[in-house]
Amino acid sequence: MSSETAFLSIEQLQARYRDGSLTPLEVVSQALNRLDRMEPGLNAVAYKMADHALAEANRLTAGLREGKDSGPLHGIPVAIKDLIDVRNVPTGFGSRIRAPVIADADAELVRRLREAGAIILCKSNLLEYAYGIAHPDIGQTNNPHDVSRTSGGSSGGSAALVAAGIVPLAIGTDTGGSIRIPAAYCGIVGIKPTFGLVPIDGVFPLSWTLDHAGPLCRSVADTAVVLECIGARPMHLVPISLNGLRIGIIPHHFDDPVVTSGIAQSMRDVIDKLGEQGATTTEIKIPDLAGINRELVNILRPEAALIHAELHAENAAGYAPATRSQIEAGFTVSAVHYVRAQRYRERMRALVEAQFADVDVILSPSVPYVAPHEDPEIAEDGGEGEMLASGFANMTGHPSISLPCGLSENLPVGIQLTGGLGQDSRLLSIALGIESTLDAYRRPSI
């Protein structure tokens, strides 16, 4: 998009479409021009759908002239993570195992986006099969705020395209933080909804019981619009006063040694700002919660190994070496460890849900450090790192959102807010109130 339109919100684009000062065709044309200017520097795009996007934009532009309105995303360009099926378009999975696969049909969430009027602009780059490693033949997606650093994973392409002003929204997936981590690194908003809210039919799985899909946007308001469309459930934003808001703090997410001093200071600043508005904070103590990422790995690895068994047998050498190692490690996890981890997660889900009788939201740093130069690998023992605060919500299924809250080392910092099961709309409303008190999205200098 042009500098004048690149960072408009969904609401602003829709208003200008309807008053005639802008058309979907102009916006898509500008988005493609901006994309061409920034690629391959960002390395955010796996497959560009220029001809399709322009044809759709022309059709939807004509539709508006005729009084036809497709819905809340009419004429809005969107990027789709390249493990999600888009009809008649190749899916590459960020891998070299096989040639890209042409999808016969849209994934259900893509169908819902189209039904709401969205225009699919491109497939976005990702870590190989969303498993935490960039294939060396493809490379990681670079961060719009500093292209020497990663935009995060595994939904890094989606996050970078939104942060760079190429599209106002993108879709990612999240198994241990893969929406919220890149959202934090890139200084945008990303939500992992309640488990099962957004259908994952047509999304290549990493872990059947941990996978989620959700939107990445530049504001909470845009996020609510998109989640309502792909979740097929109302996401009404209700003004919530911060005066009296009860915030829960999990000490382990703040005092682990992996948390940098800059992130720790950013979190203190956020808590102080919210306290000035009348919010209160309470420490939450959940027995054994500190081991949740270790148990997540005991679920993730065997499920991923089974999902990849056929591909591994067909062409194990096609994986990035570290991806292959992770898949092969999954074959060695015993059934006892897997079942024990599933029983543990049931207990943790109940214990986390019980906290919402006393607090309205749980606040954590989205990631314990700013964007590194390269994507870190998943620790062999499930030790803490990127997933310090994000993994627990994948295990329990609770909705969890990352919001930009300022800078450290001149790079974006995110706070994570987690709400009660099925309370996605309320979580978004709380996030909207908190967003208004924090440093908003900052445009990258590129």
Kindly state the tokens that stand for 72.
Answer: 């809340």
Distance CA 44, CA 152 (A): 11
- H or E segment at 433? helix 424-435
Catalytic residue among 29, 151, 178, 402: 178
Q: Is residue 71 helix, strand or coil? A: coil
The label of the residue with tokens 């997410």 reads: 253
Would residue 409 be called left, alpha or beta, if left means φ above 0 and alpha means ψ between -120 and 50 degrees?
left
- DSSP3 helix / strand / coil % (the chain, rounded to 5): 40, 15, 45
Catalytic residue among 81, 158, 400, 425: 81
Catalytic residue list contains 29:
no
Catalytic residue list contains 400:
no
Catalytic residue among 70, 124, 154, 364: 154
CA of residue 76 relative to chain centroid, distance: 18
Distance CA 25, CA 220 (A): 26
Distance CA 124, CA 163 (A): 13
Query: Is there a contact between 221 and 15 (Cβ–Cβ < 8 Å)?
Result: no
b vs e for 393-429, b when ≥16 Cβ sit within 10 Å of the residue's Cβ? bbbbbbbbbbbbbbbbeebbbbbbbbbbebbbbbbbb
The label of the residue with tokens 């879709």 reads: 171
Query: Is there a contact between 120 and 88 (Cβ–Cβ < 8 Å)?
Result: no
Q: How many residues does the chain have?
A: 446
Query: Is there a contact between 155 and 216 (Cβ–Cβ < 8 Å)?
Result: yes
C-alpha triplet 216, 177, 416: angle, nearest 5°? 75
Catalytic residue list contains 334:
no
The label of the residue with tokens 């700013």 reads: 370
Q: Is the dihedral of CA 389, 384, 154, 443 positive or negative?
A: positive
Distance CA 393, CA 302 (A): 19
Within 8 A by CB and 6+ apart from 41, the residues are: 142, 147, 446
Distance CA 327, CA 332 (A): 10
Query: Is there a contact between 127 and 176 (Cβ–Cβ < 8 Å)?
Result: no
Q: At what angle do helices 50-65 and 24-38 cross, to 10 degrees?
A: 160
Active site amino acids: 81, 154, 178
